[in-house]
Structures are given as structure tokens and as C-alpha cells.
Structure 1
Amino acid sequence: MYYLQRNPRGTLVRVDTQPFEGMTGESEQATLEITHWENHQKALLAGLQKSDLELVRVLEDLIYVLTSKGILSITDLPVAAQNKLSNRSLLRQELDSLENLLNEDEILL
């Protein structure tokens, strides 16, 4: 069972499998409209998750710039954040080392 909410123009704005306050209809089956709405929501979520990953890199770079300029000390951050940044830094160093090894192998060939 699907519980629906439509805006005044009749467009789906929410679909849920549980009744909720403000619902304006229901459907026993997943109609084409419901399937399209769910697919659109999944696409939006995937876009947001991709954006989150990109933003993490921006924040990493920002923290690096602030610490390199002495504006921020890594110890100003909570211990959990320090550990996460340290772990990411180690992973990046390891990845860079692997890329350098691969590039050196290509040069030798």
C-alpha cells in the first residue's frame, strides 16, 4: 500500500508505505506515476551523495590551507575529526605512492 500527498496542482510531493499526516490519497499498487516519483527521489539522493563526496574534498583542502597559513591548528579540531583527517591523509599518501610507482614502471618500459 502506498500513501500519497499531492500539492494543489495534483502533483505528487510525497509517497510513503506508512500513513502520515497530510496525506491526500493512497494506492494499493505502484503506479507508473509512483515509480517515476520514486526514481526521481533516488536520482536526487544520488546527486546529493555525489555532492557530499565532492564537498568533503573541498573541506579537506580548506583545512589544509587554513593550517598551512597558521590560521587553524589541527589540534583546534575535535579528536575524532583529527583522526579522520589523519587517516585520510595517510590514505592519500599511500595512493600517491602507488601512482608514483605505476608511473615509474611506465617510464622504464
Structure 2
Amino acid sequence: MYIKRNEAGELIAISKIAGSDFVEAVADDAQELLAFIQQEKTAEQLALEQTDQTMARVLEDVVNLLVEQGVIRFTDLPDAAQHKLLNRRELRGKRQGIYLLDDGDNLHL
């Protein structure tokens, strides 16, 4: 990505192509670039992103319910969906395992 800065050195615009005002190249994952993109999002875009995360969990729960009730088989799902669901289940399991190790009851065994 190519960026344009103001006199204070602040990033004010980005472009995919180099141009007369866009001569400084930065990596696509540069923190400054990511922060700029994030701050330019509208309130609606940010709200939609937040609901995307909760909606993904709802869909996972629906798939699990359908599988448990025998409506569908897990193997009926496309391979990519199976891998993503298994990956998320594994990650959630690791996260829950962390909490199980320290549940805050301060019992000394």
C-alpha cells in the first residue's frame, strides 16, 4: 500500500497504486495502516463487525444442535466448513481449559 502524509507526518490517505502524492510504501499489515483503516470505519461498519462475531457463534450452535438431533451429519458439511468448525471448537476448548485450571476458589490441594 502507498500512503500520503500531512505536514505533521500523520497518515491521511492510502492508495493501492503509487502516484505523485502516494510515494511512501508500507506493508499491508503495518500497525499505522491498520489503525488508519480502523478509524475510518463508520459506526454502522463497526456495529456490523461486532454482530458478525456473535452471529458466527450462533451459527456454530445451530450446526451443533442440528448434528446432535440427527437432522444433518457433520460430514454432510463442506470440508472447509468442517475444518473451520473443528478449529474453533479446539480453540474454545483450550480457552476453557485455561479457566478450569484457575477457577478463583483459591483452594490449596
Q: Deviations over 1:23-64 (max 9, x none)?
A: xxxxxxxxxxxxxxxx89611000000011110010000001
List gaps (5 residues or longer) in structure 1: 1-38
Cα distance in 1, alignment partners of residues 92 and 106 from structure 2? 22
In the TM superposition, structure 1's runs of 4+ consecutive aligned residues that sit over 6 Å from their partners are none
1:64 is matched with: 64
> What TM-score results when the alignment is normalised by the length of structure 2?
0.59
Superposition pairs of residues 13-92 of structure 1, within 5 angstroms? 42-92=42-92
Q: CA deviation at 1:102?
A: 1.4
2:94 is matched with: 94
List gaps (5 residues or longer) in structure 2: 1-38
Q: CA deviation at 1:65?
A: 0.4
Cα distance in 2, alignment partners of residues 97 and 46 from structure 1? 30
Cα distance in 2, alignment partners of residues 83 and 47 from structure 1? 27
- Give 2:58's aligned amino acid: V
The structure with more radius of gyration: 1
Cα distance in 1, alignment partners of residues 97 and 41 from structure 2? 39
1:14 is matched with: none
Q: CA deviation at 1:79?
A: 0.3
Aligned length: 70
